[in-house]
Amino acid sequence: MLNMLDTDTVSYLIEGKSPIMETKLAALAPSMVCISVMTRAELLYGLKRLPAEHRLHLAVRQFIKIVRTLPWDIEAADWYADIRH
């Protein structure tokens, strides 16, 4: 089973705000975790608002190197709408 992380979850993980989520994620193989292109875009947009030397630049870039980004297709958009609703 593939575990897709949303932007809030990734942010909490990167900022170290959720030791429970960190433990759960550490128990999974990297191949079992992914993010959507929307999450990647939101993370990178957030970096644009920070100075280049901010510690989050390195943390986010390391995270997106490790975690696979899945492309969006029609089914993903429909799934997103259902979840968001």
- What number does CATH give the domain 3-84? 3.40.50.1010
What CA–CA distance (Å, rounded) separates 30 from 2?
A: 10
Residue with the two structure tokens 């993980």: 13
Q: What is the pLDDT of residue 79?
A: 77
User: Tens of pLDDT along 27-84?
Assistant: 999 899 999 998 999 999 999 999 999 999 999 999 999 999 998 788 877 877 887 7
Two tokens, residue 17? 């705000």
Cα within 13 Å of Cα(30), Cβ side: 8
Which residue ranges make up each domain of the chain? 3-84
18 Cβ partners below 8 Å, 6+ apart? Answer: 9, 12
Q: Are 49 and 18 in contact (CB under 8 A)?
A: no
pTM attached to this predicted model: 0.79
Q: What is the pLDDT of residue 1?
A: 82
Q: What is the pLDDT of residue 12?
A: 93
Per-residue pLDDT, averaged over 12-39, amounts to 91
